Chains A and B, each alone.
Chain A
Amino acid sequence: MTTAVPVERAPHRRLVRAADGRALGGVAAGIADHLGLSPVLVRCAFVLLSLAGGAGIAMYGALWALVPQAAGGARPEGRAQIVALGAVGLGALLLLAAAGLLSPRVLPLMAATAGVALLWHQADQAQRSRWRASASGRRGGLLSVAVGLGLLVLGLTGFLASIGELGRAREGLLSTAVVVAGLAVLTGPWWLRTAHDLRAERRERIRSQERAEVAAHVHDSVLQTLALIRKAAEDPREVVRLARTQERELRGWLYTPTTPEQAAFAGALEQVAAEVEEAHGTTVEVVVVGDCPTSPTLLAVVAAAREALVNAAKHSGAATVSLYAEVTDDRVEVFVRDRGRGFDPAGVPADRFGLTQSVVGRMERHGGRAIVRSSAGQGTEIRLEVGRG
């Protein structure tokens, strides 16, 4: 009937009650999952054990109470559970009838039992809906708590009435109620304070975890860099490079959007800019408008931009290079500009071989183009352009 679901075994798995695929409390399904058996088999075992003087029922109850529930159960009660509950109720009735115990005295007790079961069940449910973080189950939860309590009170009252002890019990109940009320008044503030303290402690724990995370990051990055800067104090270029690298890293940590798809083409360009900055000690100001996923062509654009940046860093003598990229629906443009010494593009010197090969050639091979604008004393701007799609 049911095939055993292959489960991935993690080492030291704890037994948990199944949240999905359960019939009653998820005990049998949980055990089946834990042992790699079919749930049907486990359920049959419970039924057989129940026939042996009710041991199965006792075991089931104990496991229900003691074994924690699996996290993340998403499905609310289904028809299977209603059927299972009905079957259990009917079975209990039949059992009592067979034993000749189905007297008016027992009925109220059964109602009370049902009430208790409902309350227990609701405790499970409350845990599940906390995991689901949904408020939808809350009203239903309150309702079933009320019904459960009602059944319990009704059942107990009925039982007491049926054995003729209601009058005495009323006196007892009254005095108990007075005592409970007194205790509540006496200890109420203490309870409130405890609840409040618990909440406060939880908040504090979350805060201190966050603080620990920030401290760890600051230690690994900023403090280390400051130590390096102190050591490199004699070398201003190195100090600038360290500070700039650290600034970039910290900015990334603080401000980068966490969504992964944001880090495609723009991310690749920023990465390249960071590398050039690191290798050559020239500041690269990056501004990117728009973004898109990378492709072989766009990776070639990134590589060409990198070469242009390296050229500017090596030859222009400028302290700052601007990198601007714009992604529109139909094309991608990248501008690399410096205000350095510039050169005459018509007579590209031999050491600018990289420019013609790695930049212009690469762009043309990928169906784009590169335009170099430069004149002595005016700096250089290299424009890379390629269509999209």
Chain B
Amino acid sequence: MADPAPLRVVLVDDHRLFRAGVRTELAGEAGLQVVDEAETVPEAVALIIATQPDVVLLDVHMPDGGGRAVLAGVGEAAPRTRFLALSVSDAAEDVIGVIRGGARGYVTKSIAAGELADAVRRVAGGDAVFSPRLAGFVLDAFATSTPVPDDAPPADHADLDRLTARERDVLRLIARGYTYKEVASELFISDRTVETHVSSVLRKLQLSNRRELSRWAADRRFG
């Protein structure tokens, strides 16, 4: 696979200026191709179902329900498409909301072009993308639960509410500003293992039956 087909990317954002900016930034990146863009929720849903892109860069905040509404609208109609949430918002509810809606990662709009391209590639490859801030939110949300022992049998349902000690270590390093590669060398594990841990945290975030999450969200209401 010397030169695989470029990843097809769709931009969804209600700010024209921002879409133009991302388009320019990604234009310089090899292996990525922005195929189309949409600025409203219904437009985005129709476009994504029609074009079946590899990755959708999804704005969290838009009129008519934002990123969550797009995820709900597309549903199962684009099974191969992965979503990466992109936002200026710091509100934990919004961020956790799109992740639970099915997005495979969250980055802030201030992210550098190269890092954004990396994040797109990683999401397309089936991995999860955690920004330091998202890692912080997750640690905060699961802070009250005791860690699951690492050698526990693979997660039954109760364990969806808790992180393993190793997952916690990985998240803490990400929150400290480490890249996946740096996390791997810090913990003496492979890059692949870091990705496995992060994906597992993402899964817990999406599937946990909300006990920890809702308690945390209630503690941290934004006024």
Contacts and interface: CB of A to CB of B under 8 A. Distances in A.
Interface of A: 247, 251, 254-259, 283, 285, 287-290, 320, 322, 324, 326, 328, 335, 337, 339, 381
A334 to B, nearest CB: 10
B222 A337 contact: no
B177 interface: yes
Contact of A289 (B88, B90, B143, B222): B143
A337 B175 contact: no
A287 B90 contact: no
A289 B139 contact: yes
B165 to A, nearest CB: 13
A324 B136 contact: yes
7 contacts: A247-B88, A257-B220, A289-B143, A290-B140, A324-B132, A326-B175, A335-B176
Contacts of B8: none
B133 interface: yes
A287 B143 contact: no
A288 B222 contact: no
Interface string B163-182: 00000000010011110000
Contact of B223 (A256, A283, A289, A335): A256
B77 interface: no
Contacts of B89: 255
A257 B136 contact: no
A255 B172 CA distance: 23
A322 B172 contact: no
A326 B221 contact: no
A4 to B, nearest CB: 42
A339 B177 CA distance: 9
A258 B222 CA distance: 7
A259 B223 contact: yes
Smallest CB-CB A-B distances: 3 pairs: A322-B177, A258-B223, A287-B136
Given A256-B223, A258-B223, A287-B136, A337 B143 contact: no
B116 to A, nearest CB: 14
Contact of B132 (A256, A283, A322): A322
A337 B140 contact: no
Nearest to B178: A337
B135 interface: yes
Given A255-B91, A256-B223, A289 B140 contact: yes
Contacts of A339: 177
Nearest to A378: B182
B90 A255 contact: yes
Contacts of B136: 287-289, 324
A255 B175 contact: no
Contacts of B143: 289-290, 328
A288 B136 CA distance: 7
B183 to A, nearest CB: 12
Given A285-B177, A289-B136, A326 B220 contact: no
A257 B221 contact: yes
**Residue in A283, A287, A335 whose Cβ sees the most chain B Cβ within 10 Å:** A287
A326 B139 contact: yes
Contacts of B90: 251, 255
A337 B176 contact: yes
A324 B177 contact: yes
A258 to B, nearest CB: 3
Given A255-B90, A322-B176, 6 more contacts: A259-B223, A289-B143, A324-B132, A324-B172, A326-B139, A337-B176
Contacts of B222: 255-257
A326 B223 contact: no
Interface string B198-223: 00000000000000000000001111
Interface in B125-177: 132-133, 135-136, 139-140, 143, 172, 175-177
A339 B112 CA distance: 14
A8 B89 CA distance: 47
A177 B140 CA distance: 69
Interface string B52-87: 000000000000000000000000000000000000
B190 to A, nearest CB: 20
A337 B223 contact: no
A285 B91 contact: no
Nearest to A244: B110
A340 to B, nearest CB: 12
